[in-house]
Protein backbone atom coordinates (compact mmCIF):
# COMPACT_ATOMS: atom_id res chain seq x y z
CA UNK A 1 0.00 0.00 0.00
CA UNK A 2 1.43 3.33 -1.06
CA UNK A 3 0.71 5.94 1.54
CA UNK A 4 1.48 8.74 -0.92
CA UNK A 5 -1.60 7.82 -2.93
CA UNK A 6 -3.90 7.72 0.05
CA UNK A 7 -4.97 11.37 0.05
CA UNK A 8 -5.81 11.20 -3.69
CA UNK A 9 -7.82 8.02 -3.24
CA UNK A 10 -9.56 9.48 -0.25
CA UNK A 11 -10.28 12.62 -2.24
CA UNK A 12 -11.67 10.58 -5.15
CA UNK A 13 -13.91 8.53 -2.88
CA UNK A 14 -15.00 11.64 -1.05
CA UNK A 15 -15.77 13.39 -4.34
CA UNK A 16 -17.90 10.51 -5.62
CA UNK A 17 -19.73 10.27 -2.30
CA UNK A 18 -20.22 14.03 -2.23
CA UNK A 19 -21.54 14.05 -5.83
CA UNK A 20 -23.91 11.18 -4.99
CA UNK A 21 -25.22 12.92 -1.89
CA UNK A 22 -25.46 16.29 -3.65
CA UNK A 23 -27.40 14.60 -6.47
CA UNK A 24 -29.91 13.23 -4.01
CA UNK A 25 -30.26 16.32 -1.87
CA UNK A 26 -30.10 19.09 -4.47
CA UNK A 27 -33.07 17.65 -6.32
CA UNK A 28 -30.94 17.02 -9.42
CA UNK A 29 -31.75 13.32 -9.30
CA UNK A 30 -34.46 12.77 -11.89
CA UNK A 31 -35.85 9.63 -10.30
CA UNK A 32 -36.39 8.38 -6.81
CA UNK A 33 -37.48 5.16 -5.17
CA UNK A 34 -40.53 5.43 -2.96
CA UNK A 35 -40.00 4.24 0.61
CA UNK A 36 -43.49 2.74 0.82
CA UNK A 37 -44.34 1.12 -2.52
CA UNK A 38 -40.71 0.67 -3.63
CA UNK A 39 -41.43 1.92 -7.17
CA UNK A 40 -38.99 4.21 -8.95
CA UNK A 41 -40.82 7.37 -10.01
CA UNK A 42 -39.72 10.73 -11.47
CA UNK A 43 -39.09 13.34 -8.75
CA UNK A 44 -42.16 15.26 -9.95
CA UNK A 45 -44.20 12.41 -8.41
CA UNK A 46 -42.88 13.34 -4.97
CA UNK A 47 -43.91 16.23 -2.73
CA UNK A 48 -41.12 18.55 -1.63
CA UNK A 49 -40.05 18.99 1.96
CA UNK A 50 -41.25 22.34 3.30
CA UNK A 51 -37.86 23.26 4.81
CA UNK A 52 -35.13 22.02 2.51
CA UNK A 53 -37.27 21.70 -0.68
CA UNK A 54 -35.99 18.22 -1.49
CA UNK A 55 -38.36 15.44 -2.50
CA UNK A 56 -39.68 13.49 0.46
CA UNK A 57 -39.42 9.70 0.83
CA UNK A 58 -42.93 8.73 -0.25
CA UNK A 59 -44.50 9.25 -3.67
CA UNK A 60 -47.62 11.41 -3.95
CA UNK A 61 -49.94 8.41 -4.37
CA UNK A 62 -48.59 6.70 -1.24
CA UNK A 63 -48.65 9.96 0.72
CA UNK A 64 -52.29 10.56 -0.16
CA UNK A 65 -53.19 6.93 0.62
CA UNK A 66 -51.36 7.19 3.94
CA UNK A 67 -52.86 10.53 5.02
CA UNK A 68 -56.45 10.19 3.78
CA UNK A 69 -57.77 8.03 6.65
CA UNK A 70 -56.21 10.42 9.20
CA UNK A 71 -57.70 13.40 7.40
CA UNK A 72 -61.17 11.85 7.36
CA UNK A 73 -60.91 10.74 11.01
CA UNK A 74 -59.79 14.23 11.98
CA UNK A 75 -62.74 15.85 10.21
CA UNK A 76 -65.20 13.39 11.75
CA UNK A 77 -63.74 14.00 15.20
CA UNK A 78 -63.67 17.78 14.73
CA UNK A 79 -66.88 18.75 12.92
CA UNK A 80 -66.61 22.33 14.19
CA UNK A 81 -63.19 22.67 12.50
CA UNK A 82 -64.66 21.32 9.29
CA UNK A 83 -67.56 23.78 9.51
CA UNK A 84 -65.18 26.65 10.26
CA UNK A 85 -62.98 25.81 7.29
CA UNK A 86 -66.02 25.54 5.01
CA UNK A 87 -67.24 28.93 6.24
CA UNK A 88 -63.79 30.51 5.73
CA UNK A 89 -63.58 29.04 2.24
CA UNK A 90 -67.05 30.34 1.37
CA UNK A 91 -66.20 33.83 2.68
CA UNK A 92 -62.92 33.93 0.74
CA UNK A 93 -64.71 32.86 -2.41
CA UNK A 94 -67.33 35.58 -2.00
CA UNK A 95 -64.63 38.15 -1.34
CA UNK A 96 -62.68 37.14 -4.45
CA UNK A 97 -65.85 37.24 -6.54
CA UNK A 98 -66.63 40.73 -5.22
CA UNK A 99 -63.09 41.90 -6.04
CA UNK A 100 -63.30 40.42 -9.50
CA UNK A 101 -66.65 42.04 -10.19
CA UNK A 102 -65.28 45.40 -9.05
CA UNK A 103 -62.26 45.12 -11.35
CA UNK A 104 -64.49 44.04 -14.20
CA UNK A 105 -66.84 47.00 -13.77
CA UNK A 106 -63.83 49.39 -13.57
CA UNK A 107 -62.52 47.99 -16.82
CA UNK A 108 -65.86 48.30 -18.59
CA UNK A 109 -66.32 51.98 -17.70
- Cβ nearer to Zn ion, comparing 35 with 97: 35
Q: Does 22 bind Zn ion (CB under 5 A)?
A: no
Nearer to Zn ion by C-beta: 65 or 87? 65
**Nearest C-alpha neighbor of 51 from the set 21, 28, 25, 30:** 25
Q: What angle is formed at CA 74 by the lines to CA 69 and CA 79, rounded to 5 degrees?
A: 130
Instruction: Give the nearer residue to Zn ion in terms of CB position, either 39 or 99.
Output: 39
Cα 9 from Cα 90, distance rounded (Å):
63
Give the count of residues interacting with Zn ion (CB under 5 A).
5
Q: Which residues bind Zn ion (CB under 5 A)?
A: 34, 36-37, 59, 62
Amino acid sequence: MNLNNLPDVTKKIWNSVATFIAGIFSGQAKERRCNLCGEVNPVTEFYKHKNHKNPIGECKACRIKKNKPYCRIFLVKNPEYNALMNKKHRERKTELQREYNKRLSNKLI
